[in-house]
Amino acid sequence: MPKAGFWAIDSVRKISFGKDGWWYANDERIENRRINRLFSQHLRRTEDGRYQIVLGRDTAIVEIDDAPYVVTALDGDLDQGLRVRLNDTSEETLSPDTLYIGPDNAVYCRVKDHAHLARFTRPAYYQLAAYIQEEPETGEFVLRLNDAAYPIPFGQDRP
């Protein structure tokens, strides 16, 4: 198990963020939840579209296996709106028009002013599923929120 801490931010170690929502050092999962949160809170996108962790003067380019953020929880209601909690502990209103179903039937949305992609964790996926209906005529999945219907298409990012 990697003992990744502040010393792990260097050019020798490969740091990556997995689609499971965990950080990895040299392909070994970093089990420390505080370090995972710290890395996510200090994740930045570079001008060329790559991601890096910036901790003070230390920076490291990181590999993102799928999406740079994961939705860890969903709460709210259909009248007031739904809120997502991300792996960096931030919370924001769900943008339902950015929802889509990707590979492996994973659900994604856009977060942080639509600038970044987020994948729903399994628990958050089940929380969202409680609000999704299937249209009988088309078989399309739809989120009905505030008297509006938001189709959830398969396979396309909706920035």
Count Cα atoms within 13 angstroms, Cβ side, for 112.
Answer: 18
Which residues are bridge partners to 64 per DSSP?
17
Give the three-class secondary structure for 69: strand
Report the pLDDT value the prediction gives residue 8, as an integer from 0 to 100. Answer: 46
Predicted structure pTM score = 0.88
- Mean pLDDT by runs of 10 across the 159 residues of the chain is 51 86 94 95 97 92 97 90 96 96 93 97 95 91 89 80
Report the pLDDT value the prediction gives residue 1, as an integer from 0 to 100. Answer: 45
What is the C-alpha separation between 118 and 113, in angstroms, rounded?
12
The CA–CA distances, whole Å, from 112 to 36, 91, 153 equal: 19, 9, 21
**If 0-12 CB within 10 Å is exposed, 13-18 middle and 19+ buried, where does residue 132 land?**
middle
